[in-house]
Chains A and B, each alone.
Chain A
Amino acid sequence: MEVAEGRGAYQTARKAVLSMKPEEIVRAVTASNLRGFGGAGFPTGKKWGFLPKDSKKPVYLVINADEGEPGTFKDRYIMERDPHLLIEGIITSAFAIGSHKAYVYIRGEYVQPFKRLQTAVDEAYQKGYLGKRIFGSSYDLDLVVHRGAGAYICGEETALLESLEGKRGLPRLKPPFPAVVGLFGCPTIINNVETLSCVPFIVKNGPEWFAGLGSPGNGGTHLFSVSGHVKKPGVYELPMGTLLREIIYRHAGGVPGDRRLKAVIPGGISAKILTAEEIDVKMDYEGLRDAGTMLGSAGVIVMDETTCMVKALYTACKFFAHESCGQCSPCREGTGWAFKIVKRIYGGQGSVRDLDTLLAIAKGMEGRTICVFADAAAWPIQSYIEKFRVEFEEYIKKRER
């Protein structure tokens, strides 16, 4: 707390709570082009605007710290290295949306981040920055840090709410959306850790400043988690719209041993893969959408020429088969089925026809389920096979008896 305050922590939250109107903050966030960093890139100000205006129910703010997307480890840095920034973001945001109770739902495996965050929360309570009449104002805010139990699907916001309510983490049918019927049936805003950590800067430096950091329509900087075959894996804070090539070669130091780049997943394991030829894309929502993939969680996974795409797909499919919550028939059956086929191919028992079956399964899973997990599971299948079909066929033929 001492160190953080020495660097100006909580000054923005104090100013907001003591001297700003909630609408002012919402307006600033809207104007800043801040888009949710949880994966979907939904404009944060707009989301907050979905709250019913004069509901008699309490409003909850829920912070998604489940960070389960393979290849993504950015929220962890915030919670480990600067937990007070997150808390300040939560205070400012909760005040803006009129919430008096916030929950951080943190991934169960994140033991260290949890400890750090909990310690910081305790400190903030001691200081009177959380609890009753915070900063001496008439505004109360409680913050609870709740640990998940290890299911990836609990990162999906409505599964998260179920889990937080003590039930099985199954995504809910939408509509209704959480802003109207959320936690315990009350209006709820769910935001990612990084998203809310941007709010103090927006309030402090103004929305124009924040918008100006990024690319058109994509405000601010983003934490890119870079992993795989790069010389300097890590988390890089870079402006929205930075070129993927720049991230890999300039910031992450390029491919080790100067081997050739083969492929990159730009936004966590769910995002469609890009080939080495496709890396001159802007890392923002539109840039990657136009490239046929997505920014997702900005988990950049770099694969060099030594990577076997069959094995890479095997790994992805295994993950999705293991993590499907199992509600929707296409997802439950499709993820398991696809994994069995890919496993068979990987084990040398595949046939070229299997590739078409895989594509058919993926197509069948897309757009027919409660949450987008099934789509996310379909995209690696589609993109790996479509972009590396020759490699898949060679792999299969080499092992045919």
Chain B
Amino acid sequence: MANITIDGKPYVVKDGVTLIEAIDEARIPLPRYCYHPGLSIAGNCRICQVEVEKTPRTVIACNTRVADGMVIHTRSPKAKESQRVVLEFLLANHPLDCPVCDQAGECKLQDYYMEVGLYDPKFDEMKVKKTKKAFPIGPTVMLDQERCILCSRCVRFTDEITKTHEFGIFNRGDHSEVDVTPGKQLDNKYSGNVVDICPVGALTDRDFRFKVRVWYLKSQKSVCPACSRGCNMEIHYEASRPYHLQNERIMRLKPRENHEVNQWWLCDEGRYAYRPIDFNRLKKWKMPAHGGQEEADWEKVLEKLAFLLKGTGTRTNGRWALIASPQAANEEIYLQKLLFKDYLKWADIGFKAPGQEGYEDDFLIKRDKNPNSTGALEIFGLSEAASDITAIVEKAKKGEFAGIWVRDHDLAKVFGEETLRIVRQRLQVLVYEGTNGNPTADCADFVLAGAAYAEKEGSFTNFQGRVQRIWKAVEPLGDSKPAWQILTRLAGFLGLLWNYTKPESIFNDLARETPAFRDLSYKKIGDQGVVWRKSSASLRGA
């Protein structure tokens, strides 16, 4: 351990760490462009200058190691002057096209100019002209070479993280420019990350460009539901101007640092998977009426459904099955277990759709495209094989069920339209609960409009057994309701005395009742998640 002083305060840090690591740990802001904790040290931008006492010149914090007794200043006149000088060089040839730059508002040139710049610019020459402005370098990313400050983060990302080597820096001196190598385009499973790490407006996201100025965005923590890794992320949404962009609310997803899960990254598949939150949503509740179907208030629908489920009705005396969903939160699955398995004694419960697994790599992306298969297995107490919904569908085809409650799945997509048609024919009642429209919802008797993950609280259990929380970013769209509310209300109509008013109390009961979750609480999970108690050897994919 080394004793050092930063800006007058003493710190004890590990031997051999860099100054910038020590400074970051002390939560002291220091400008940086090329340094990124997930990439090798390049030391080329030269902005992270700090003063070290007894050293004649300022040094860069990102490539200087601590030594015992070091006295470091990040904001002394000497340090700030050094940072300012470097910034002025960086801005010398910058096009200053902030008014038409999508990065404005989250640009480190703007930020540091306000923090350490504020000089009268001396540059009075013709700026260097570069060839590629607003130039698509792949399906997702746009390049502007003139805005690039040549920090080489994008180059190092594609060299060191994806190892796809699309980027290079070409030419010399102030004609240096970043580009994709000839004949290549930026098109890998993680392309979007270069936009996040580009500190300026040189790499922008084609999906996000010009949708909204970033200062209109609000942010909520979340977890990506697109595969069983559960990458931590932020949902950036525009709630203040709903008239903007035809009521589209979710503007983009950004990775949120979690060293145990996704570090600083997000895959493109997850990053661009937000559209279903705002599009093709089920906003209305429906129930059978007069030989047809009618839209109705959610409580009316649930009351009617409860009536059927109690078996007091004539037509539905018979077995029911639950096709649950690994997209559902732990809390929701727990309530399904209480209601359908424990109380209504349904024996046929599954959630895993066969043949839906996708691409997997040895980095982030997992084969299982659901965020909570691990939690669902555990809470329902199912084996992997028993969780498969094929058996239920086969039985349904034979007419063994009076009713099926389907959550999220589209049976047409999984088993084909013909199977859905047969199943539908053999059923007296088909209940569909979910967020988005699909052929299964189209032919359901009851349609229960559910809230999307961005519209509710809860938790997922990823493939590592890490229980992670999701938070509410935006209000449930239309009449949609979070599943925990739907199930709680239904339980009420069934005569159960549940008094859950928020997911947290459900989670507390779940934690009490389910060994793997024992002793966990929202507080303990925090925003980085906690691995549950189950021995990791038994985990899927681990």
Partner of A333, one of B43, B44, B174: B174
B100 → chain A, closest Cβ, in Å?
23
B422 → chain A, closest Cβ, in Å?
63
Partner of B150, one of A326, A357, A363, A364: A326
Partner of B126, one of A335, A340, A364, A370: A340
Q: What B residues does A357 contact at CB under 8 A?
A: 122, 124
Within 8 A of B (CB), among A156-178: 168, 173
Are B43 and A337 within 8 A (Cβ)?
no
Partner of B47, one of A323, A329, A333, A367: A329
Q: How many residues in B have their beta carbons less than 8 Å from beta carbons of A? A: 34
Q: What B residues does A327 contact at CB under 8 A?
A: 42, 44, 150
Are B123 and A337 within 8 A (Cβ)?
yes
CA distance A92 to B174 in the complex (A): 42
Are B173 and A364 within 8 A (Cβ)?
no
By CB atoms of chain B within 10 A, which of A340, A357, A365 has the most?
Answer: A340
Q: Does chain A have a CB within 8 A of B90?
A: yes
Are B122 and A368 within 8 A (Cβ)?
no
Are A328 and B44 within 8 A (Cβ)?
yes
Are B174 and A332 within 8 A (Cβ)?
yes
Are B171 and A364 within 8 A (Cβ)?
no
Interface flags for B164-181 (1: CB within 8 Å of A; 0: not) read 000001011111100000
Where chain B touches its partner, the secondary structure class is loop
Interface flags for A359-376 (1: CB within 8 Å of B; 0: not) read 011011101111000000
Q: Does chain A have a CB within 8 A of B45?
A: yes
Of B80-88, B398-406, B427-435, the stretch lying at the interface with chain A is B80-88
Q: How many residues in A have their beta carbons less than 8 Å from beta carbons of B? A: 33
Partner of B89, one of A153, A322, A329, A344: A329
Are B58 and A332 within 8 A (Cβ)?
no
Residue of A nearest to B151 (CB): A329
A400 → chain B, closest Cβ, in Å?
16
Are A173 and B41 within 8 A (Cβ)?
yes
Residue of B nearest to A365 (CB): B89
Are A328 and B173 within 8 A (Cβ)?
no
Partner of A341, one of B85, B90, B125: B125
Q: What B residues does A360 contact at CB under 8 A?
A: 122
Q: Does chain B have a CB within 8 A of A268?
A: no
Q: What A residues does B123 contact at CB under 8 A?
A: 337
By CB atoms of chain B within 10 A, which of A168, A332, A344, A364 has the most?
Answer: A332
Are A368 and B49 within 8 A (Cβ)?
yes
Asked, given contacts A329-B44, A360-B122, whether A368 binds B85 with beta carbons under 8 Å apart, the answer is yes
Q: What B residues does A325 contact at CB under 8 A?
A: 172-173
Residue of A nearest to B45 (CB): A329
B123 → chain A, closest Cβ, in Å?
7
CA distance A269 to B496 in the complex (A): 90
Q: What A residues does B46 contact at CB under 8 A?
A: 328-330, 368-369
CA distance A126 to B183 in the complex (A): 46
Q: What A residues does B128 contact at CB under 8 A?
A: 336
Interface flags for B296-312 (1: CB within 8 Å of A; 0: not) read 00000000000000000
Interface flags for B80-113 (1: CB within 8 Å of A; 0: not) read 0010011011101100000000000000000000
Are B89 and A151 within 8 A (Cβ)?
no
Q: What B residues does A361 contact at CB under 8 A?
A: 122
Interface flags for B26-48 (1: CB within 8 Å of A; 0: not) read 00000000000000011111110
B419 → chain A, closest Cβ, in Å?
58
Residue of A nearest to B177 (CB): A326
Q: What A residues does B63 contact at CB under 8 A?
A: 173
Residue of A nearest to B90 (CB): A329
CA distance A323 to B176 in the complex (A): 11
Q: Does chain A have a CB within 8 A of B389?
A: no
Within 8 A of A (CB), among B445-476: none
Partner of B173, one of A173, A321, A365, A368: A321
Asked, given contacts A332-B150, A370-B43, whether A326 binds B85 with beta carbons under 8 Å apart, the answer is no
Partner of A322, one of B126, B169, B173: B173
Q: Does chain B have a CB within 8 A of A334?
A: yes
Residue of A nearest to B43 (CB): A173
Q: Does chain B have a CB within 8 A of A32?
A: no
A129 → chain B, closest Cβ, in Å?
39
Q: Does chain A have a CB within 8 A of B512?
A: no
Q: What A residues does B93 contact at CB under 8 A?
A: 333, 336-337
A143 → chain B, closest Cβ, in Å?
30
Within 8 A of B (CB), among A356-399: 357, 360-361, 363-365, 367-370
Residue of B nearest to A168 (CB): B169
Q: Does chain B have a CB within 8 A of A221?
A: no
Are B125 and A340 within 8 A (Cβ)?
yes
CA distance A364 to B57 in the complex (A): 12
Asked, given contacts A329-B47, A332-B150, whether A364 binds B125 with beta carbons under 8 Å apart, the answer is no
Asked, given contacts A329-B45, A368-B58, A368-B82, whether A337 binds B92 with beta carbons under 8 Å apart, the answer is yes
Q: What A residues does B251 contact at CB under 8 A?
A: none
Are A335 and B82 within 8 A (Cβ)?
no
Residue of B nearest to A336 (CB): B174
CA distance A331 to B47 in the complex (A): 13
Q: What A residues does B126 contact at CB under 8 A?
A: 340
Q: Does chain B have a CB within 8 A of A33?
A: no
Residue of B nearest to A370 (CB): B43
Q: Does chain B have a CB within 8 A of A215?
A: no
Q: What B residues does A335 contact at CB under 8 A?
A: 173-174
Q: Does chain B have a CB within 8 A of A44?
A: no
Residue of B nearest to A333 (CB): B89
Are B173 and A326 within 8 A (Cβ)?
yes
Q: Does chain B have a CB within 8 A of A195?
A: no
Q: Does chain A have a CB within 8 A of B186?
A: no
By CB atoms of chain A within 10 A, which of B42, B43, B63, B149 has the most?
Answer: B43
B148 → chain A, closest Cβ, in Å?
11
Interface flags for B50-61 (1: CB within 8 Å of A; 0: not) read 000000011000
Q: Does chain B have a CB within 8 A of A197?
A: no
Q: Does chain B have a CB within 8 A of A270?
A: no
Q: Does chain B have a CB within 8 A of A324?
A: yes
CA distance A107 to B487 in the complex (A): 78
Asked, given contacts A324-B172, A368-B49, whether A330 binds B85 with beta carbons under 8 Å apart, the answer is yes
Are B82 and A321 within 8 A (Cβ)?
no
Q: What B residues does A369 contact at CB under 8 A?
A: 46
CA distance A337 to B126 in the complex (A): 9
By CB atoms of chain A within 10 A, which of B42, B47, B128, B172 has the most?
Answer: B172
Partner of A330, one of B42, B89, B122, B171: B89
Residue of B nearest to A325 (CB): B172
Q: What B residues does A168 contact at CB under 8 A?
A: 169
Residue of A nearest to B122 (CB): A357
CA distance A370 to B43 in the complex (A): 7
CA distance A325 to B123 in the complex (A): 21
B18 → chain A, closest Cβ, in Å?
11
Interface flags for A288-332 (1: CB within 8 Å of B; 0: not) read 000000000000000000000000000000000111111111101
Partner of B85, one of A173, A322, A336, A364: A364
- In the assembled complex, 20 residue pairs joining A and B whose CB atoms fall closer than 8 Å, in A order, are A324-B173, A326-B169, A327-B44, A328-B44, A329-B47, A329-B86, A329-B90, A330-B86, A333-B90, A335-B173, A335-B174, A336-B93, A336-B173, A336-B174, A364-B88, A367-B57, A368-B46, A368-B57, A368-B82, A370-B44
Besides the known contacts A151-B172, A330-B86, A337-B125, 14 further A-B residue pairs in the complex with CB atoms under 8 A apart: A322-B173, A323-B173, A324-B173, A324-B174, A326-B174, A329-B150, A332-B176, A333-B90, A333-B92, A333-B174, A357-B124, A360-B122, A364-B85, A370-B43
Q: Which 9 A-B pairs have the closest CB atoms?
A: A336-B174, A326-B176, A333-B89, A340-B125, A364-B85, A324-B173, A327-B44, A367-B57, A173-B43
